[in-house]
Amino acid sequence: MLKIDCHTHILPRKLPNWTEKYGYGDFIYLQHHKRGYAKMMRGNQFFREIRENSWNPELRIREYEKFNTSVQVVCTVPVMFSYWAKPYDCLDISRFLNDHIAELIQGHPQNYLGLGTIPMQDSELAVMELERCKSVGLSGVQIGSNINDLNLNEERFFPIFEACAKLGMAVLVHPWNMMGQQQIQRYWLPWLVAMPAETTRAICCMIFGGIFERLPELRVNFAHAGGSFLPTIGRIAKGFECRPDLVAIDNAVDPRKYLGKFWVDSVTHDTFMLEYVLRLQGSKRVTLGSDYPFPLGDLEIGKFIENMNLDQEVKADIFYRSALEWLNVDIERFKE
Ligand SMILES: [Zn+2]
């Protein structure tokens, strides 16, 4: 069965020294300190060590073959968004990263699909780069769960979503810049607690801000099975019902009405949770995801789903049909 992993990250092997080029800021660069490994540095600060599978497309394809998965939807690592930079510098970085992904897809059309990154801090530049992403063959864009602490319902972002809907570009919302992270540094809590909350924040802002209501054609996927949104839908819907004066101020539609309208990926690491997600979302709105190649990801690329007692049709939805619909890609592309 065709398998499309909708949540994977990739970087070019070499990044320019943007701090030197622009004369400010702690932009990310890579130090190739030993064979097969690199350090991601933010300014002079060590951020994370990555392996060659973060940049080598052939190695990635080989690793995926072990789990019978032939297609990877790649996007950059959220720390590369650079929304904090001057808009034209962020545009420059976005173009560099998007061109790398576009080239990768052209070289391996049966193995890779791509999502770009756009300078969300400047709506006009963001739409400009979004249009260019489409013209170079990307299927959509990945954006952060907040933009420099601003929520996605802010009116300034609406033209970007509107353009995504109009151009038919898919959107992946990925948690990053986690709220409250300074207070919860110990035990990796920014990743374990704040990331799922960030995604919930993004979904709630898009629902309550009326973005889905105003743009029914917009196709959005939320990382990590929507974070803690689906597990707390009861509370969120109850809040809408009991305090409409606080919650229903921009959109009067019950949040439960949007279940099964947007997509979420399968990164739950838990069979009961995936069953619950499937029940709320329907299998046509759950895409295979892994968060490869990072350690908190499902690095067996959905093997736990293969082992679940699910109908073959449900598995086909999760493994590829939902992805094709979300990305508006024809299955013919992957046939020999
Ligand atoms: Zn991710």
Cα of 82 vs centre of ligand 1, distance in Å, is 16
Cα of 35 vs centre of ligand 1, distance in Å, is 25
Cα of 123 vs centre of ligand 1, distance in Å, is 24
CA atoms within 13 A on the CB side of 194: 18
Question: Which residues are CB-contacts of 186 (< 8 A; sequence separation ≥ 6)?
Answer: none
pLDDT in tens, 40-98: 999 888 999 999 999 999 999 999 999 999 999 999 999 999 999 999 999 999 999 99
Rounded Cα–Cα distance for residues 210 and 207 (Å): 5
Cα of 172 vs centre of ligand 1, distance in Å, is 10
Q: Which helix H or strand E contains 39, and what residues bound it?
A: strand 37-42
Helix (H/G/I), strand (E/B), else coil: 106: helix
Query: Are the beta carbons of 205 and 177 closer than 8 angstroms?
Result: no
For ligand 1, a single-atom ion, the residues with CB < 5 A are 291
Query: Are the beta carbons of 192 and 199 closer than 8 angstroms?
Result: no
pLDDT in tens, 130-160: 999 999 999 999 999 999 999 999 999 999 9
Residue 97 has which token pair?
């990263």
Q: How many Å separate Cα 1 from the centre of its chain?
A: 24
φ, ψ of residue 158 to 5 degrees: the values are: -60, -45
Helix (H/G/I), strand (E/B), else coil: 220: strand
Cα of 291 vs centre of ligand 1, distance in Å, is 4
Bridge-based pairing state of the strands 71-75 and 4-9: parallel
Bridge-based pairing state of the strands 140-144 and 286-287: unpaired
Cα of 79 vs centre of ligand 1, distance in Å, is 10
Rounded Cα–Cα distance for residues 183 and 180 (Å): 6
Cα of 22 vs centre of ligand 1, distance in Å, is 27
For the whole model, what pTM was predicted? Answer: 0.98
The tens place of each residue's pLDDT in the chain, 336 residues long, gives 999 999 999 999 999 999 999 999 999 999 999 999 999 999 888 999 999 999 999 999 999 999 999 999 999 999 999 999 999 999 999 999 999 999 999 999 999 999 999 999 999 999 999 999 999 999 999 999 999 999 999 999 999 999 999 999 999 999 999 999 999 999 999 999 999 999 999 999 999 999 999 999 999 999 999 999 999 999 999 999 999 999 999 999 999 999 999 999 999 999 999 999 999 999 999 999 999 999 999 999 999 999 999 999 999 999 999 999 999 999 999 986
Cα of 293 vs centre of ligand 1, distance in Å, is 9
